[in-house]
Chains A and B, each alone.
Chain A
């Protein structure tokens, strides 16, 4: 079967198909995928760094698996993620705004979340819209909630999604790593530093910022 489906920034439509059902495969160890095409991991690191540097509001969404220091690995990843965020902040221009917004809870909140300070997997689009986020990376979010969020974001926004997945990767992200580790996150930060100043900020502005 020739597979034409590509995982691209949306808005795709209200309920985009699960990329897996469209034939998108997950990468093997040492690989990653970009838009559903399997590539060597190093290539994806470079591309993710480029996307961060191109974005007006490059954002990292850490989830409960890294927000809470529940074991040593999680604590190390937290340090690496913060380092990545600080690096992006340093490497972008004053016109860009790097953000670090937690996903502390998966449960729907009453009466609503505050999209300025958090993201919730049941309506991640609210945080994307509110902050006009045009590139984001999920890290430390359990698989099911990440899948749900990535699909909703692809359905209703034009945000570029990156998954720094600790398991086998996410088909529903536009770019996905697998086997996330503190070391891999640090390598991504190195790529951001390496590409600093070589990437032009995206000129595309949609009606409500990044995401309509």
Chain B
């Protein structure tokens, strides 16, 4: 897999807008060791974004798109919310689903791709907000996990319905008052990572997106495990700076504060036994691949 699959007809190269020319010449499709470090030196798979300035969702998007192991053969499924406004600027196949339906759409899609392209790896990755994942779409989220559908679900947890002005969500903290939830939340933040584990997810991580290297690791793991074993779930804290009254520059600190050991986004992971085995095998192969590549470069030098 490589850029072979995205070639502009030579007769039209000169008239294509520069972002497409860049994509075919400088993007990291087909690069096995693609990751967050390519940001700034390669063409990213996200063009502009339509989020508020400084919104941590925009960082999360960039890290995730830089880390997908197989972007040319990945289909992302989105849902209504702030994230959905970004998808038109993303150079990975994606489908917008009706609010809450994302895991049902992804189930059908993954099955269809498996039938249509036997022998080719096709990854499906859902990316939706907490309202879509935990409230209106909870049925679809859980049923996909119960059925052991082989795709990754990523929840951008900003602890409320941001796109519609700040309503209460199941992932909101107890007692939190939002613009459109003036009474304050009366019950605890839903423990979705634990529910995911009990519902059959083989790889579950709850963390913030403050560290790009960590985002890269969990994205790759989640995709690999979903490909081979079964459903995986990532809950990423992407605070809505607009709703919690922070400035553009303060999103990162907010995430750092919330990932301290006693806080609700302290790193938490669950890995099933078969997933552990798979990840160990992948890590061993990766080590071999890197050693071989290193040897090759030293021979060439």
Q: Given known contacts A67-B16, A102-B16, is B9 in contact with A78 (CB within 8 Å)?
A: yes
Residue A207 at the chain B interface, CB threshold 8 Å: no
A8 within 8 A of B: no
Is A110 a contact partner of B89 (Cβ separation < 8 A)? yes
Residues of B within 8 A of A114 (CB): 17
Which of chain A's residues have a CB closer than 8 A to the CB of B6?
A: 68
* B11-47 contact mask (Cβ, 8 Å, vs A): 1 or 0: 1100111001000000000000000000000000000
Q: Is B50 an interface residue (CB 8 A)?
A: yes
Which B residues are CB-close (under 8 A) to A105? 88
A108 near B16 with CB under 8 A, answer no
Q: A109 CB to closest chain B CB, in angstroms?
A: 7
Assess the B50–A110 pair: CB atoms within 8 A.
yes
How far, in angstroms, from A69 to B10 measured CA to CA in the complex? 8
Residues of A within 8 A of B85 (CB): 110
Please report the C-alpha to C-alpha distance between residue A33 and residue B87 in the assembled complex, in whole angstroms.
Answer: 38
0/1 interface trace, chain B 43-62, chain A, CB 8 Å (1 if under): 00000111000000000000
The yes or no answer to B8 lying at the interface (CB within 8 A) is yes
B residues near A74, Cβ cutoff 8 Å: 9
Q: Quick check: B9 and A108 within 8 Å, CB to CB? A: no
Q: Please name the residue on chain A nearest to B87 by beta carbon.
A: A107
Shortest CB distance B84–A (Å): 11
| Cβ contacts under 8 Å, A70 to chain B | 5, 7
The CA-CA distance from A110 to B88 in the complex, in Å, is: 8
B9: chain A residues at CB < 8 Å are 66-69, 74-75, 78-79
Partner among A68, A75, A100 whose Cβ is within 8 Å of the Cβ of B15: A100
The 0/1 profile, CB within 8 Å of B marked 1, for residues 196-209 of chain A is 00000000000000
Give the complex CA separation of A101 and B15 in angstroms: 7
Q: Which of B7, B8, B12, B17 lies in contact with A117, CB distance below 8 A?
A: B17
Give a binary string over A84-121; 1 marks a CB under 8 Å from any B CB, 0 the rest: 00000000000000001110110111110010011000
A100 to chain B, nearest CB (A): 5
Residues of B within 8 A of A81 (CB): 11
Q: Are A107 and B88 in contact (CB-based, < 8 A)?
A: yes
Q: Give the residues in chain A near B7, CB-CB below 8 Å.
A: 68-70
**8 Å CB interface, A44-88 against B:** 62, 66-70, 74-75, 78-79, 81-82
Q: List 30 A-B contacts (CB under 8 A).
A: A62-B12, A66-B12, A67-B8, A67-B9, A68-B9, A69-B7, A69-B8, A70-B5, A70-B7, A74-B9, A78-B9, A78-B10, A78-B11, A78-B12, A79-B9, A82-B12, A100-B12, A102-B12, A102-B16, A102-B17, A105-B88, A107-B87, A108-B88, A109-B88, A109-B89, A110-B50, A110-B88, A111-B48, A111-B50, A117-B15
The 4 A-B residue pairs with the shortest CB-CB distance in the complex, in nearest-first order: A78-B9, A82-B11, A107-B88, A110-B50
Known contacts A66-B12, A117-B17; can you find 13 more A-B pairs with CB under 8 A? A66-B9, A68-B7, A68-B8, A69-B7, A69-B9, A69-B10, A79-B9, A100-B15, A102-B15, A102-B17, A110-B48, A110-B88, A117-B15
